[in-house]
Amino acid sequence: MPLRLPPPIIYLITKGATNAHTTSASEEFASVLELVSAAVAANVSLIQIREKHLTARVLQELTTESAKLTRASQTRLLVNDRADIAQAARADGVHLTTRSLAPAVVRSTFGPDFLIGVSTHTVEELREARDQKADLAVFGPIFATESKRSYGEPLGPAKLAEVVGDLSPFPIVAIGGLKLDNANNCFNAGAVGVAAIGLFQPGDLAETVNQLRHSFERRER
């Protein structure tokens, strides 16, 4: 499998501020590229282009330009849901939702070197992701967050520790309400990394990444 990212996996997800009228000349298009560039400079592990409302053409343009920024770096680039666009734009892989194609279908279509992440909310979904040859799963919400309210009450670090123990060594990344002052709870629970949108801001991205790495190094073993 192609996942060769040393822990902690710092997983930045773009904000989804683009829309169906966005073009490559739009300010919000440029803002995504600025964030990707800052993430590469900060040595972020993974970036997910999560711009669900773009037309397919503009999404491919955005992914192509983002891939140029990540290609010579240690940062890996995923595209939300659209494995076809990820491959065409020379990104590293795809991030699948619960409504996407099954990981096994993507794996058989795009091959062993195509990176596959999966969103999960239950231990059953985690097992399915592992058994269908995904490279990692994002699990949550761990803490309360408005964007994940539709998935129910936060699962909490204790549940995270339970599923990590159950599925070890399958890589599980925590998501949902992540902040600098609670990420250590996820690392202590055994998560290999953390994923977020709002936690990562271009101006202080390097410092945020450094603090997360320091928190991981100081985790309880």
Contact 86, 63 (CB under 8 A): yes
pTM of the model: 0.94
Gap between the Cα atoms of 138 and 92, Å rounded: 17
Residuewise pLDDT in 10s, the chain (221 residues): 466 789 999 999 999 999 999 999 999 999 999 999 999 999 999 999 999 999 999 999 999 999 999 999 999 999 999 999 999 999 999 999 989 999 999 999 999 999 999 999 999 999 999 999 999 999 999 998 776 566 668 999 999 999 999 999 999 999 999 999 999 999 999 999 999 999 998 889 999 999 999 999 998 76
For the chain, the domains span: 9-217
Domain 9-217, CATH homologous superfamily name and number: Aldolase class I (3.20.20.70)
- Token match 């040595």: residue? 43
- With a CB cutoff of 8 Å and minimum separation 6, the contacts of 150 are none
Q: How many CA atoms lie within 13 A of 190 on its CB side?
A: 15
